[in-house]
């Protein structure tokens, strides 16, 4: 009998993600795995009744500035001066650890030899099934990050949160160590906080590495967010701002704007004082289109050099 509990971490907020989750549950069941499913959001009874254990915990600790945030930046040139567009966005990296921690508490007395954590959308291949069926000891996975500009797989990273497995002994040792305060402190200067924290938790633990690279079906994106561009209405220009200035860049054609009642023609990347009262641009038929609403945001931004 396969004495390895497959623990699926999930946050399936779309029909496509639910399909991926259901397919992976079917695959794991067919291969003889007992399954624990954890979710931050309610799931249909059809799904929850198909697994052996289900943990529903609606707490989903997304970290925001000033508690914790991730810095994203884009460099552009304004009058030959390199200019950085900086954004602090929420850190979602602790959310899977929240599930891992609760799974650890729930399974404390379970007598499985291994507890294998699997992201709901991992592409489960026959080779992966073979490796997690015949586990000996702790195992972590490796990934290659996707380069969104070229669509090719590029940078390798180990360990990955997409798939990892602990023996019962190390499961009971590691999962109680997970704390939000530690995550914030330890990953303060890391560009890949989720993986960095896993590496920290495993610093005194011997682990093997899965031979196959692990892939997931969905790339993480910040929903409804165009990084470094607040112009959500067209592709004619890009707009960025902070508390003091606005930047217009990547103009397709010269743009005639109205800033606090004064007309200005912009034909290249430019930084202007943030308007006190109004901002607009002239569209077809020289119609003035007000875009004050584009300067309203709860995102933390800065312009630096």
pLDDT bin (cut points 50, 70, 90) of residue 108 is very high
Highest mean predicted confidence (pLDDT) among 46-55, 128-137, 151-160, 209-218: 46-55
pLDDT bin (cut points 50, 70, 90) of residue 220 is low
For residue 9, pLDDT over 90 is answered with: yes
Contact yes or no for 71/88 (Cβ under 8 A): yes
**What is the structure's pLDDT at 192?**
83
pLDDT bin (cut points 50, 70, 90) of residue 245 is very high
For residue 1, pLDDT over 60 is answered with: no
Question: Cis omega before residue 66 (within 30°)?
Answer: yes
Give the pLDDT confidence of 249-284 residue by residue, as tens digits.
999 999 999 999 999 999 999 999 999 999 999 998
Give the residue carrying structure tokens 């800033």. 259
Instruction: Kindly report the backbone phi and psi dihedral angles of residue 175, in degrees, each rounded to the nearest multiple of 5, phi listed first.
Output: -60, -35
This prediction has a pTM of: 0.81
Contact yes or no for 145/216 (Cβ under 8 A): no
For residue 305, pLDDT over 90 is answered with: no
Question: What is the distance between the alpha carbons of residues 236 and 284, in angstroms, rounded to a whole number?
Answer: 13
For the chain, domains (ranges, CATH) are: 4-60+91-213 (3.90.550.10), 238-304 (no CATH)
**What is the structure's pLDDT at 280?**
96
**What is the structure's pLDDT at 10?**
96
* Tokens representing residue 67 in the block: 């508690």
Which H or E element spans position 197? helix 193-201
* Tokens representing residue 113 in the block: 């030899």
Least confident of 54-68, 108-122, 139-153: 139-153
């Amino acid at each position: 009998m396969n004495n390895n509990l497959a623990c699926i971490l999930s946050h399936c907020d779309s029909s496509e993600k639910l399909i991926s989750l259901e397919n992976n549950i079917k695959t794991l069941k067919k291969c003889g795995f007992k399954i624990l499913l954890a979710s931050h959001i309610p799931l249909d009874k059809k799904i929850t009744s198909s697994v052996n254990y289900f943990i529903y915990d609606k707490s989903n600790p997304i970290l925001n500035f000033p508690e914790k945030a991730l810095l994203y930046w884009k460099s552009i040139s304004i009058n030959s001066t390199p200019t950085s567009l900086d954004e602090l966005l929420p850190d979602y990296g602790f959310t899977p650890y929240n599930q891992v921690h609760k799974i650890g508490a729930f399974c404390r007395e379970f007598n499985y030899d291994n507890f294998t954590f699997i992201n709901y959308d991992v592409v489960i291949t026959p080779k992966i099934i073979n490796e997690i069926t015949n586990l000996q000891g702790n195992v972590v996975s490796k990934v290659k990050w996707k380069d969104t500009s070229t669509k090719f797989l590029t940078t390798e990273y180990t360990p990955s949160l997409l798939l990892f497995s602990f023996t019962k002994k190390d499961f009971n040792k590691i999962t109680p160590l997970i704390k939000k305060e530690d995550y914030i402190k330890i990953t303060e200067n890391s560009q890949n906080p989720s993986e960095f924290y896993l590496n920290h938790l495993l610093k005194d633990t011997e682990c093997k590495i899965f031979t196959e690279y692990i892939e997931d079906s969905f790339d993480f994106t910040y929903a409804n967010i165009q990084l470094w561009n607040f112009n959500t209405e067209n592709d004619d220009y890009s707009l960025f701002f902070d508390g003091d200035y606005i930047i217009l860049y990547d103009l397709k054609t010269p743009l005639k704007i109205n800033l606090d009642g004064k007309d200005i023609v912009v034909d290249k990347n430019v930084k202007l004082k943030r308007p006190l009262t109004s901002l607009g641009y002239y569209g077809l038929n020289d119609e003035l289109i007000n875009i004050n609403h584009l300067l309203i945001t709860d995102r933390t931004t800065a312009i630096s050099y």
